[in-house]
Amino acid sequence: MEICDLVSEILRGIGYDIDQVHTGYELLAYLEKNTPRVIILDLMMPEKDGLSIISSIKEISPYSRIIIYTGYHEFEKSIYARSVDRFLVKGATIDKLIDVVEELSR
């Protein structure tokens, strides 16, 4: 099971309504018709990655809160990390991710 599927399954299990996309292009198309409260974004995705779409996300969906959830810890102190609401490395516990989602969902 991919991490995206696992996180979605866990969040659905505690009552969140979750939609999944797998590429940056899919996310941008989704945001044209939807305004999610929270977006969990990986930096490295197929086709168009998270690094290249952060500013587009903010333009299309300015009220959505963005969590970068990535395995690339070297970006933790980068401009990308400072431009979103939270930055979590995938080594963080799922409880930490849930806490951040709950906090940003309020």
- Tell me the pLDDT tens digit for each residue of 11-31: 999 999 999 998 899 999 999
How far, rounded to the nearest angstrom, does the alpha carbon of residue 79 sit from its chain's CA centroid? 16
Q: Are 93 and 81 in contact (CB under 8 A)?
A: no
Q: Provide the Cα torsion 5, 1, 75, 95; round to 10°.
A: 70
The fold adopted by the segment(s) 3-105 is Rossmann fold (3.40.50)
Q: Give residue 41's identity as a one-letter amino acid code.
A: L
Entry pTM: 0.92
Please state the domain extents for the chain.
3-105
- Tell me the pLDDT tens digit for each residue of 28-73: 999 999 999 999 998 887 777 788 899 999 999 999 999 999 988 8
